[in-house]
Amino acid sequence: MKKKKNNQLRTCSVCRRKDNINQFTRFVIEQNNLVIDKNRDKKGRGMNICKEGDCISKINFNLVKKALKTELKQIKIRQD
């Protein structure tokens, strides 16, 4: 049996840590809100944040702006 290829690496937009894709939560901008892309199937530019630790709580406006090159006036994180 072949080993399943599982080498999709992502970089955390907060701490720049590189790890496997399943160690991160993907966020995208949707209708001016920062939303969690649970299934990783939303369109558009996304940013990856560590699931573990406090990176998610360190998300701020400038970081989102830089990571997603967005023109948002403010960010709201929607977690539904």
**Site residues for Zn ion per CB under 5 A:** 12, 14-15, 17, 50, 55
Distance of closest approach, residue 14 Cβ to Zn ion, in angstroms: 4
Helix extents (H) in 1-80: 61-68
Looking at the Cβ atoms of 29 and 47, the one nearer to Zn ion is: 47
Answer for the pair 76, 61: CB distance below 8 angstroms, yes or no.
no
> From the CB of 62, what's the least distance to Zn ion, in Å?
16
Distances (CA, A) of 56 to 7, 14, 27, 47, 50: 23, 8, 10, 11, 7
8 Å CB contact between 64 and 77 = no
| Residue closest to Zn ion, measured at CB | 12
Closer to Zn ion by CB, 32 or 57: give it.
Answer: 57
Q: Nearest approach, Cβ of 12 to Zn ion (angstroms)?
A: 3
